[in-house]
Amino acid sequence: MEIKEITGDNFQTEVTKAAQPVLLEFYADGCSFCKAQLSVLEEAAEEACDVKFVRVNGDKERTLAGQFGVTVLPTMLIMNGEQIFRRITGYQSLEAILSYLEM
């Protein structure tokens, strides 16, 4: 399953107005942990079909990163609408991500 890139322009449509829960990852291109996390997120997206997976480049979308108080990359937020259910920082295993998604 493709993980869609989110910007300030499509954030509201793709995240806060999504019909299902969303796992939103903040990452940076130069972050080795973020690069490793992407492959794990792609696997998780295949297993958790009822969750939408999206990514925000924290370097390019500093306003969004600031809005959510992101200071560590990768940071993942599990959201439903505008409500944040869980904030996860640092690299996470597939098992950990799937367990976080059990709401």
Please give the helix or strand (H or E) that residue 24 lies within, else none: strand 22-27
Which CATH number covers residue 13? 3.40.30.10
pLDDT 10s digit of each residue in the chain, 103 long? 679 999 999 999 999 999 999 999 999 999 999 999 999 999 999 999 899 999 999 999 999 999 999 999 999 999 999 999 999 999 999 999 999 998 6
Provide the pLDDT for residue 103. Answer: 65
Position 32: which residue type?
S
Among 24, 22, 19, residue whose Cα is nearest residue 75: 24
Reading the block at residue 94, the tokens are: 């597939």
Domain count, the chain: 1
How does DSSP assign 27-91, residue by residue?
E-TT-HHHHHHHHHHHHHHHH-TTSEEEEEETTT-HHHHHHTT--SSSEEEEEETTEEEEEEES-
Domain that holds residue 8: 4-100
Provide the pLDDT for residue 102. Answer: 87
